Structure 1
Amino acid sequence: MRITAAQRIQNENRIRAAMDRLLRGEIPPGGGCDIKTLALAAGVDRTAFYGSRPYAHLRTEFEHRLAQLQQAGEVLDPKVAQIERLKTEIEKLKKSLAQANSTIQELTDTRNQALSRIAAQHEEIQRLRTGHTTDINITRLPSARQKIIGPC
């Protein structure tokens, strides 16, 4: 069923009034600052805002005004503000996690190097202790437990 010119003007006025309310931040609960909420608030079918439908120019106007407000730094929709805040927090956490992973990798590498050095030193000590017991030129020193007896 086609609408009359008077009905169309009346619908456009309702849409513009709803548009002004949304852009002032008067967003109904469960809604957002979007075409779906605009159509619902104006009592018009949402599909009338798309393609070559009668109110497509009002959708373009609404999106343009919304973009201008967003460029000016105004955030009308609390959901959008929360999403932006969470995106910023996620980026911060990703950077923190990357830094922590980098630090963990550096510490793991340092620990592995230290363990390798300790193992090599232990092997060298074992080799020195057992390898030269038969050499005549090497004198074994007494351990700290043995008492050294010498001239007094």
Structure 2
Amino acid sequence: MRITAAQRIQNEGRIRAAMDRLLRGEIPPGGNCDVKTLARAAGVDRAAFYGDRPYAHLRTEFEQRLQQSQREGHAPDPKAAQIERLRAEVDKLKTSLAQANTTIEQLTDFRTQALARLAAQHEEILRLRGAADPKANVVNLPAARQHQIIGPC
């Protein structure tokens, strides 16, 4: 069914009005800032926006204005902006987690090495105590005693 020139002008006016609303961020529930939602908001068949159909130039205009708005830092679709923000946050958290894992591995290795050194030093102390010449002027100290801590008087 063909439409008259007056109907086409009227449709283009509705499409442009819907385009302006979408680009301002007035996204209807369940919609996005896309051609499908534009067609639905204007009450026009979506197929009319493709190929050599009558409103293909309006789809191109809408997509260019949307890209320009995004380049300027404006996100008319809050869901898309939220998705991008969350993706960036996920990437940041993944990087942070990788750095934390690397630090944990390094600290675990350091702990293992420190314990091995302490054990070796303890063994060396025990060996030296056992090898002390009884005729030498060396006095073995008594074992450390546990003292009870008494509070202030």
Residues 118, 51 of structure 1: CA spacing in aligned structure 2 closer, same or farther, 3 A cutoff? Answer: farther
Residues 122, 55 of structure 1: CA spacing in aligned structure 2 closer, same or farther, 3 A cutoff? Answer: same
Q: 1:129: Cα distance to partner?
A: 4.8
Q: Which residue of 2 aligns with 1:144?
A: 142
Q: 1:56: Cα distance to partner?
A: 2.4
Q: Which residue of 1 aligns with 2:147?
A: none
Query: Any stretches of 5+ residues in structure 2 without a counterpart?
Result: 144-153
Question: Letter of the aligned partner of 2:26 in structure 1?
Answer: E
Q: 1:62: Cα distance to partner?
A: 0.3
1:18 aligns with 2:32: no
RMSD: 2.5
Distance 2:51 2:120 in 1: 76
1:71 aligns with 2:71: yes
1:102 aligns with 2:102: yes
Q: 1:143: Cα distance to partner?
A: 4.6
Distance 2:140 2:111 in 1: 34
Could you list the runs of 4 or more consecutive aligned residues of structure 1 that deviate by over 4 angstroms after TM superposition?
none
Q: Which residue of 2 aligns with 1:149?
A: none
Distance 1:141 1:99 in 2: 51
Q: Which residue of 1 aligns with 2:27?
A: 27
SS of the aligned residue for 1:75 comes to: coil
Structure with more relative contact order (C-alpha pairs < 8 Å, separation 6 or more): 2
Distance 1:129 1:143 in 2: 11
Q: Which residue of 2 aligns with 1:92?
A: 92
Contact 2:25-2:78 at 8 Å conserved across structures: no
Question: Letter of the aligned partner of 1:44 in structure 2?
Answer: V
Percent identity (aligned): 69
1:125 aligns with 2:118: no
String of CA shifts for 1:74-95, please: whole Å, max 9, x gaps: 2211112212322232233223
String of CA shifts for 1:84-133, please: whole Å, max 9, x gaps: 32223223322322332232122112101101112222333344455x48
Q: 1:49: Cα distance to partner?
A: 2.3
Q: 1:32: Cα distance to partner?
A: 1.7
Q: How many residues are treated as equivalent by the alignment? A: 139
Q: Which residue of 2 aligns with 1:3?
A: 2
Question: Letter of the aligned partner of 1:93 in structure 2?
Answer: L
Query: Any stretches of 5+ residues in structure 1 without a counterpart?
Result: 146-152
